[in-house]
Amino acid sequence: MKKILFDRIDEPGLNTLSVYERRGGYDALRKALGMDREQVVEELLTSGIRGRGGAGFQMGKKVSFLPKGDMDKFLVCNADESEPGTFKDRELMQKSPHMLIEGIIIAAYAGGIDHSFIYIRGEYEYQADILDAAIEEARAAGYIGERILDSDFSLSVVLHRGAGAYICGEETGLLDSLEGKRGNPRLKPPFPAVEGLYDSPTLINNVETLSTVPHIIRMGGAEYAKIGTETSTGTKLLSVSGDVKRPGNYEIELGIPSRQIIYELAGGPLDGRQIKLWFPGGSSAPVLTADDLDIPYDFDSLAKAGSMLGSGAIIVVDDSHSVLEVAMKLAKFYAHESCGKCVPCREGTNWTVKMLERIDSGEATPMDLEIMSSVQEQIIGNCLCVLGDAMAMPIGSMIDKYRPELEAHIEAARERAGSGALADVVALGVADEHAGPMPVH
């Protein structure tokens, strides 16, 4: 398949302006500046490109939602890549920073925006240094600043380094963090397109989405839409990790079978191992089993299978790991990263950790699984942002799909801890379906 974002990505010096320009860099910007703003938005809409950050919202629509008129408008590039299992933006920014900058300039032009920020996670120090240098080069060459390429369009680009918080990948948490506060998500609506950074209309897009913009302008939206499937157009960078032979970033055409990605590109499971479960779109996606490997990898097919494409991070877990171990890692992560603003998320994530620990220490009964399921249900949709949902969905799906294994784990742990055989507890009626929770001593 022809690579678009990853086309000769390892070419030495691609992070410098001279190599990028030699390869036709910033030609798309020239083309865009020769078009009307509405035409550029039209191309983005025609391309059908959906956001590559996690939610999968159409980028063209997002741009068209921005109010017209003379006011402060901002573009924020979300480079706070912190979804576990995701590392595609890191490679893009490190190896081809000018592609992102060109995309930002074109998107800002389309939205009539004159200030932009790149919010990069604080841990990506090396990538941030590269971006800083690239921004400086682009400014010196006249691609950023006042009256870009002699047009009447001006744009500033500022790189902002975060300081380590998963929640700042959530768009409104990111905005609060960029305003210098704790990264607590905001109530929506108003959406950022209406009231975002400094209470002004704000366009927020992921690194990969913005990096694709120059290619859409270069090829034309209609041509780009021919790649992939009807509702999932284009190519996608996938970060494959976990128990596979060749973990790494791969660019695929949306709609190819998931099996091909895991077995052909990433080399399949380690020798002598079987795939037990996999996350198709980062650790926040409901898990899929080995039976689901033939699902085409695109937004709608994965949604139909009860999961999601998310950030495009495939995490493969093989049969040497227990489901409980995976669930525990996840729950602890979300409990640590919950910002604490909404009660269902703050309490739900912490209680899920405690309930999983009970399973491991032999105090649990199968009823704990019911309670845990109900906790997950209570989190979903009840918070300002989806961090809590991001734990509730995979944990809920693990309880659904791996219940026998978890029950066996409960029984084995009880035996280990000498907590009494489960049969006796069940005889007491504790596992009765109408039973409420046991009083906590």
Contact set for another protein, span 195-224 (CB under 8 A)? 198
Q: Minimal distance in Å, beta carbon 32 to another protein?
A: 25
Among 98, 160, 215, 409, the residue binding another protein under the rule CB under 8 A is 160
Using rule CB under 8 A, residue 45 touches another protein:
no
Using rule CB under 8 A, residue 404 touches another protein:
no
Asked if 172 and 48 count as a contact pair (C-beta separation under 8 A), the reply is no
Q: Which two tokens stand for residue 123?
A: 């841990």
Helix (H, G, I), strand (E, B) or coil at 260: helix
Q: What angle do CA 279, 283, 285 make, to 5 degrees?
A: 60
Q: Which two tokens stand for residue 222?
A: 């209609």
Helix (H) or strand (E) holding 180: none
Q: Of residues 113-132, which lie at the interface with another protein (CB under 8 A)?
A: 115, 121-126
Using rule CB under 8 A, residue 56 touches another protein:
no
* Closer residue to another protein (CB): 326 or 372: 326
* Closer residue to another protein (CB): 232 or 249: 249
Asked if 400 and 376 count as a contact pair (C-beta separation under 8 A), the reply is no
Residue type at position 51: G
Residue type at position 316: V
Residues 6+ positions from 316 with CB-CB distance below 8 Å: 240, 241, 242, 243, 244, 262, 266, 269, 275, 278
Q: Which residue has the tokens 């171990």?
A: 325
Using rule CB under 8 A, residue 230 touches another protein:
no
Q: Of residues 358-397, which lie at the interface with another protein (CB under 8 A)?
A: none
Among 111, 214, 247, 255, the residue binding another protein under the rule CB under 8 A is 247
How many angstroms separate the most distant Cα atoms in the chain?
A: 82
Among 56, 183, 192, 312, the residue binding another protein under the rule CB under 8 A is 183
Q: Of residues 60-99, which lie at the interface with another protein (CB under 8 A)?
A: 72, 81-87, 89-91, 94-95
Q: Minimal distance in Å, beta carbon 242 to another protein?
A: 5
Q: Of residues 14-43, which lie at the interface with another protein (CB under 8 A)?
A: none
Using rule CB under 8 A, residue 354 touches another protein:
no
d(CA 383, CA 439): 27
* Closer residue to another protein (CB): 33 or 133: 133
Strand segments, DSSP code E, in 293-425 are: 313-318
Q: Of residues 407-436, which lie at the interface with another protein (CB under 8 A)?
A: 428-430, 432, 434-436
Q: Of residues 251-290, which lie at the interface with another protein (CB under 8 A)?
A: 251, 265, 283
Using rule CB under 8 A, residue 336 touches another protein:
yes
DSSP type of residue 149: G
Using rule CB under 8 A, residue 292 touches another protein:
no
Q: Which stretch binds another protein (CB under 8 A): 45-53, 297-305, 315-323, 411-419?
A: 315-323
Helix (H, G, I), strand (E, B) or coil at 17: helix
* Closer residue to another protein (CB): 89 or 170: 89
Among 205, 239, 352, 376, the residue binding another protein under the rule CB under 8 A is 239
Using rule CB under 8 A, residue 192 touches another protein:
no
**Nearest CA to 237 among 211, 273, 218, 269?**
211
DSSP string of 204-225, one letter each residue: EEEHHHHHHHHHHHHH-HHHHH
